[in-house]
């Protein structure tokens, strides 16, 4: 793989000029208020996963425009009351998949909500069960989701997906198995970007864990790598030669560096120095703007897999610190 981004010393000092639209907060307030107004109570039904120690429930909650979003709820059996909850977001092109993929956090004693990605799940890895419904449609886009609706922040795909992610916390707090005062969010890659978005758009979280987060510092991302979903931007602009600034403006509404600046809960980041999917400078750009107390774990010889399961102890400790006993 080899290093391809700035040296680590420079990364630790990297604080690019933010690209933040003036109406960023208004845009999101309007968006989330509308979603809240359209929401109904989450529903959950039992799912037989054939597991002795884990109870699995198939959850449906209200996302963007009140549309139904799927999630898995995994619970340790034999619990004695509401549990603190971990809300997990999933990486790009994937979805909530099947319950056997997500056994860690319920085994650790938490209520664990695995939130689906609308319209994704066709990437050959984890699958999804939630359609993407965008009644007004969208204009020209590269294959993938990053440029879908790029002509207008109001029509952009990530407006819908981020809203779903924010609403997932409302949903988990409304579940009877959950202690609504103790909720943390986490995820890797796109899931990490969504965790940062939710951390920036809500004020009731106990903590946020963002591993090798995506959705950050799009301008540099689109110039420094030709792997992974950031290259969708470059591909789009290869054809749309005269729309660079328009595209960057739309994307700025969905930039994790802007979300991060609004977060107040404790945050844990990780970054991999050989990660061509989410280059380290884009991760440090978000980390350095994070508004709450924050730490970052650096994996020098890893690509986008980052710390993988080998980083679980760090996350168990972080959750124990902010969620308390379970």
Residues within window 215-234 making contact with a copy of itself, judged by CB under 8 A: 222-226, 231-232, 234
DSSP codes joined into one string, 216-233: --HHHHHHH--SSTHHHH
Nearest residue (CB) to a copy of itself, 108 versus 292: 108
Distance, C-alpha 144 to centroid of its chain: 17
Tell whether residue 300 is a contact of a copy of itself (CB under 8 A): yes
Residue position matching structure tokens 């039992």: 46
Q: How many CB atoms lie within 10 A of CB 108?
A: 17
Give burial (CB, 10 Å; 0-12/13-18/19+) of 2. exposed
Q: Give the nearest distance from C-beta 164 to a copy of itself in angstroms.
A: 13
For β-strands 294-299 and 267-272, DSSP reports them as parallel
Binding mask 253-292 for a copy of itself (x = CB under 8 A): ---------------------x------------------
Three-state secondary-structure class, residue 7 = coil
What mask, x for binding a copy of itself by CB under 8 A, covers residues 65 to 84? -----------xxx------
Q: Shortest gap between Cβ of 195 and a copy of itself (angstroms)?
A: 19
Q: Single out the residue of 13, 15, 30, 139 in contact with a copy of itself (rule: CB under 8 A).
A: 139
Residues 41-60 that bind a copy of itself (CB under 8 A): 50-54
CB of 171 to a copy of itself, least distance (A): 20
Catalytic residue positions, numbered: 189, 275, 304
**Long-range CB contacts (< 8 A, 24+ apart) of 155-161?**
156/250, 156/253, 156/254, 157/119, 157/132, 158/215, 158/254, 159/31, 159/64, 159/253, 159/254, 160/63, 160/64, 160/65, 160/118, 160/132, 160/134, 161/64, 161/117, 161/118, 161/194
187 part of the interface to a copy of itself, by CB under 8 A: no
Stretch that binds a copy of itself, among 18-26, 184-192, 249-257, 306-314 (CB under 8 A): 306-314
CB of 211 to a copy of itself, least distance (A): 13
Asked if residue 324 binds a copy of itself (CB under 8 A), the reply is no
- Give me the least distance between CB of 94 and a copy of itself, in Å please: 8
13, 26, 133, 154: which one binds a copy of itself (CB under 8 A)? 133
Please give the sequence-ordered ranges of beta strands (E in DSSP) within 24-110, or none if there are none: 43-47, 54-62, 68-76, 83-89
Report the residue number, 36 or 248, with the smaller CB distance to a copy of itself.
248
CB 60 within 8 A of CB 158: no
Judged by CB under 8 A, which stretch of 18-26, 139-147, 180-188, 200-208 contacts a copy of itself?
Answer: 139-147
Among 168, 177, 146, smallest CA distance to 256 is for 146
Answer for the pair 217, 197: CB distance below 8 angstroms, yes or no: no
Residues in 91-120 at the binding interface with a copy of itself, rule: CB under 8 A: 93, 95, 97-98, 100-101, 103-104, 106-109, 119-120
Measured CA to CA, the distance from residue 261 to residue 199 in angstroms comes to: 10
| CB 278 to a copy of itself: min, Å | 14
> Which of the residues 149 through 178 are near a copy of itself (CB under 8 A)?
none
Interface residue with a copy of itself, options 60, 126, 250, 258 (CB under 8 A): 126
């Amino acid at each position: 793989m080899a290093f391809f981004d700035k040296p680590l010393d420079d990364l630790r000092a990297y604080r690019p000029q933010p690209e933040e639209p003036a109406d960023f907060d208004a845009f999101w307030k309007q968006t989330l208020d509308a979603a809240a107004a359209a929401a109904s109570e989450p529903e959950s039904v039992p799912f037989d996963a054939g597991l002795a120690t884990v109870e699995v429930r198939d959850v449906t909650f209200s996302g963007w425009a009140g549309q139904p979003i799927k999630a898995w709820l995994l619970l340790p059996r034999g619990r004695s009351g509401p549990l603190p909850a971990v809300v997990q977001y999933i990486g790009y092109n994937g979805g909530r998949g099947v319950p056997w993929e997500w056994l860690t956090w319920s085994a650790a004693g938490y209520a664990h909500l695995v939130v689906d990605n609308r319209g994704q799940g066709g990437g050959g890895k984890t699958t999804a069960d939630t359609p993407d419904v965008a009644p007004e449609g969208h204009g020209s886009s590269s294959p993938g989701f990053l440029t879908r609706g790029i002509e207008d922040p109001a029509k952009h795909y990530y407006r819908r997906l981020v809203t779903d992610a924010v609403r997932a916390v409302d949903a988990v707090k409304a579940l009877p198995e959950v202690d609504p005062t103790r909720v943390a969010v986490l995820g890797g890659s796109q899931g990490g970007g969504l965790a940062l978005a939710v951390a920036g758009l809500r004020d009731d979280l106990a903590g946020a864990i963002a591993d090798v987060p995506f959705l950050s510092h799009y301008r540099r991302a689109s110039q420094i790598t030709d792997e992974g979903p950031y290259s969708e931007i470059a591909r789009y602009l290869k054809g749309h030669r005269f729309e660079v600034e328009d595209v960057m403006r739309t994307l700025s509404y969905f930039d994790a560096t802007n979300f991060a600046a609004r977060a107040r809960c404790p945050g844990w980041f990780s970054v991999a120095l050989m990660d061509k999917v989410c280059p380290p400078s884009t991760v440090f750009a978000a980390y350095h703007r994070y508004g709450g107390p924050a730490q970052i774990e650096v994996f020098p010889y890893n690509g986008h897999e980052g710390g993988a399961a080998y980083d679980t102890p760090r996350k168990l400790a972080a959750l124990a610190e902010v969620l308390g006993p379970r």
